[in-house]
Amino acid sequence: MVLAPGYAPLSFTPPEPGSYALPAMGSAADGAVIDSDGNSAQLHDFLGGKPTVLSFIFTTCDDVNGCPLATYVMRSVQDALQADPATANKARLVSFSFDPVFDTPDVIDAYGSQFRAGEFDWQFLTTEGATTLDPILNAYGQWVIRDYDENGEYMGTMSHILRVFLIDESRQIRNIYSTSFLHADTVANDVRSLLMEAAAEPSADTGS
Amino acid sequence: MIIRGFFSALIALAVLVQPTSADETCMSPYMAKIVGQEDYVYIWTLGLEGVGDGEDKLVTVDVNPDSETYAQVIHSISMGGRHEAHHSGLTDDRRFLWASGLDTSKIFIFDVHTDPAAPKLHRTIDDFVEKTGGVVGPHTNYALPGRMLITGLSNNRDHGGRTGMAEYTNGGDFITSVWMPTDDNLQGAEKSGSFADGYGYDARALPRRNVLVTSSFTGWNNYMMNLGKMMGDAEAMKRFGNTVVIWDLHSRKPKKILDVPGAPLEIRCAWGSRSNYCFTTTALTSKVWLIYEDEAGEWQAKAVADIGDASKIPLPVDISISADDNHLWINTWNDGLTRLYDISDPFAPKQIMEEQIGEQVNMVSQSWDGERVYFTSSLLANWDKTSASEGNDLQYFKLYKWDGNSLTPEFNLDFVELGLGAPHQMRFGAHALYGGMTAQSPSGLVTTPPAH
């Protein structure tokens, strides 16, 4: 097994935060979700206001280069941002389960508690089921292939394309990462770039 | 990466972190791959006047030997006219196939996931030139995570070779565009030699090195001109690209411009986790070039082999690298030969075999395991030959079996006899990519069995 690049030190010098553009790729979609406390909410309640990194996972994924990679990278991003007073508590992470059957609020709460550092804004979300989940997955281009036997019985395994989304304070998608290019250093730099961008924008209050 | 499931035997999970295989060997490293038997080949086909409806079309051929319709054209969808159909590319999730026209600059987005046996038109991009600020001739449709990178060949100001690249969401919404670096606007790139022509053609990414590599061809004035007329025009023959550009993949900024004289065309990068190099071939000078990262971390270009006798203008076109990075198929359009090179030493490629495929040959696509090699014939409407010598095929789609030593013909479809046109880019499809024959909702929780 060859581990994804995200598990190792970055093998190149990334461009400096703020030295490049992150063009908007469209609005991040909304939908009905359930948080880890079991409360009904909207996905947009957890997007906007600050840069957010959103990944789609399922807690029983055992492919080291899949969901565990996404969670590993997000934890590393959390740690990197929290270690810098300039970026601490200025971003959010959202891990969204696409397995509502197994990933109940209790399950994702227990899962998330392993990774969330203190009171850092890292949300773990699930859904009621296909009715609310399917529109969200469709909007984010996330399709899951579940394995069914010849009798139509679910075999307990599924496949999906790993995608992690960077969403800005206005709920615009600004980058999408897949396994080849998912690394905490580049994701954290992109978050820093968005924070620098927001800091540079004229304030509405001052009218400047 | 596709995270594994039952279908992992049929679909490749990791493009990304381990060597994989497919023309499958030649696509974006962000994409899912078919590791088993492909079911279909989608062939983007140029319309020919007097042949069938004369329109550009996407043709679907059944290539699964277990199928009742094996080796048959099972579907075709025409695009209402001739657009100079050339290249196509799949989105990273392989749900959509983008196919573009070099003349009209239209891009057709086909849904290939709802029914892989019968692609349907999902969307047409008809404002590419306007949105990109004047890029003409969308060429390579290359998958990046959740989006498509489209390289251009020309521009709407002088229809010469200066051009740019654009990015679109997988759904077909414009994101951004960038122009290739030129002498008067290097955009921070290092001009390492004599050229900074601003021309474009192909693009390939090496994510673990944060590098995007682009090549350079020629503009609309040339590629839409009759070949004989162009070759007799000394001024036109000066207007070909001579550069390969190395870009910072994350920032999309050009870093270095390399001299690769003679129109470097297709780029294929090695898959090995420590193989920081790519190959290209030059159409006019008939050479294999190695684009590589040296020990100091600098990207360089070096001519490493000849392709045939350059004085006879064999005209290298499509190339295909094997999964293990040991072999490179190189087609020479003008003499209709496919040539296999041993590239186990990338600095010293050696031709080890050649085979006559047809009167002309352009594209080559390998299956995941390299055992099946497909060929098509068409290059450009105004360049293609119009007659064939005795025993040679003119416009065809052919499958050969490759056993490591020789090519054995499997089937041959004459696209003129079938009333289709001139076949060009091939892309593979498989039901396994989408969960088999049973349709699933995005979550996979709702399933719809096949109608039959």
Concatenate the DSSP letters of all residues of A99-155 into one string: -TTT--HHHHHHHHHTT--TT--EEEEE-SSHHHHHHHHHHTT--EEEEE-TTS-EE
B424, B374 in Cβ contact below 8 A? Answer: no
Does a structural domain hold residue A119?
yes
Distance CA B435, CA B432 (A): 5
Q: Report which secondary-structure segment, H or E, holds B408.
A: strand B407-414
Query: Is the C-alpha dihedral spanning B163, B164, B169, B174 positive or negative?
Result: negative
> Which residues does chain A have within 8 Å of residue B174's beta carbon, measured at their own beta carbons?
none
Which of A67, A71, A146 should we substitute to test contact with B (largest number of B Cβ atoms within 10 Å)?
A146
Of all residues in chain A, the one with the smallest CA distance to B32 is A161
Tell me whether residue A187 is in a domain: yes
Within chain A, residue ranges assigned H as helices are 67-82, 105-113, 130-139, 184-200
Range of the domain at A40: 26-197
The C-alpha atoms of residue A200 and residue A6 are separated, in whole angstroms, by 30
**Contact A159/B176, CB-based, under 8 Å?**
no
Tokens of A65: 């280069």
Tokens standing for B316?
């290298």
Q: Judged by CB atoms within 8 Å, which residues 62-81 of A form the interface with B?
A: 63, 65-67
Task: Verify whether the Cβ–Cβ distance A158 to B444 is below 8 Å.
Answer: yes
The three-point CA angle B7-B13-B16 to 5° equals: 170
**Which tens digits make up the pLDDT trace of A128-184?**
999 999 999 999 999 888 888 888 888 888 888 889 999 999 999 999 999 888 999
Q: How is residue B406 written in tokens?
A: 């020789």
Listing DSSP states for B293-339 in one string gives E-TTS-EEEEEEEE-S-GGG---EEEEEE-TTSSEEEEEETTTTEEE
What does the alpha-carbon distance between residue B174 and residue B165 come to, in Å, rounded to a whole number?
12
In a domain, A208, yes or no: no
What is the complex's ipTM, to 2 decimals?
0.94
Query: What is the CATH number for A109?
Result: 3.40.30.10
- Distance (Å) of CA A206 to CA A7, A64, A169, A201, B335: 44, 49, 20, 11, 71
Name every chain A residue with its beta carbon within 8 A of the beta carbon of B30.
178, 180-181
Q: For A33-92, what is each residue's pLDDT tens digit?
A: 999 999 999 999 999 999 999 999 999 988 888 889 999 999 999 999 999 999 999 999
Q: What is the longest distance spanned by two Cα atoms in chain B?
A: 63
Following CA atoms B85, B357, B396, B267 in sequence, which dihedral angle do they give, to the nearest 10 degrees?
-20
Report the alpha-carbon distance of residue B11 to residue B34 in Å, rounded: 5
pTM reported for the whole predicted model: 0.94
Secondary structure (DSSP) of B433-450: GGTTTSEE-TTS-SEE--
Closest CA to B354 of B375, B370, B343, B340: B340
The CA distances from residue A68 to A4, A56, A75, A163, B103, in Å, are: 11, 11, 10, 13, 46
Considering only CA atoms, which of B319, B421, B413 is closest in space to residue B55? B421
Tell which B residues from 221 to 280 touch A, by Cβ distance under 8 Å.
Answer: 248-253, 273
Distance from chain centroid for Cα B12: 20
pLDDT per residue rounded down to tens, chain B (452 residues): 433 333 333 444 333 332 222 355 555 555 667 778 999 999 999 999 999 999 999 999 999 999 999 999 999 999 999 999 999 999 999 999 999 999 999 999 999 999 999 999 999 999 999 999 999 999 999 999 999 999 999 999 999 999 999 999 999 999 999 999 999 999 999 999 999 999 999 999 999 899 999 999 999 999 999 999 999 999 999 999 999 999 999 999 999 999 999 999 999 999 888 899 999 999 999 999 999 999 999 999 999 999 999 999 999 999 999 988 999 999 999 999 999 999 999 999 999 999 999 999 999 999 878 899 999 999 999 999 999 988 889 999 999 999 999 999 999 999 999 999 999 999 999 998 887 777 789 999 988 877 65
Q: In this structure, is residue A202 part of a structural domain?
A: no
Q: Which two tokens stand for residue B79?
A: 């695009």
Instruction: In whole angstroms, give the CA distance from residue B341 to residue B353.
Output: 7
For residue B197, what are the β-bridge partners? B182
The reply to whether residue A133 touches residue B434, judged by beta carbons under 8 angstroms, is no
Encoded amino acid at B186, one letter:
L
CB contacts < 8 A, A to B, total 173
Length of chain B: 452
Any domain includes A19: no
For residue A2, tell me if it sits in a domain. Answer: no
Structural domains in chain A (count) = 1
Selecting from B2, B16, B30 the residue whose C-beta is nearest the C-beta of A160 gives: B2
Residue A144 lies in a domain: yes
How, if at all, do strands B253-259 and B190-191 pair? parallel
Decide: helix, strand or coil at residue B218: coil
Query: Can you read off the two tokens belonging to residue B219?
Result: 């503009």
Write out residues 66-125 of B within 8 Å (CB-CB) of A.
92-93, 95
Q: What distance in Å separates the CA atoms of residue B73 and residue B54, rounded to the nearest whole number? A: 17
Tokens of B48: 């020919």
Tell me which DSSP letter residue B146 carries: T
The answer as to whether A13 is a domain residue is no
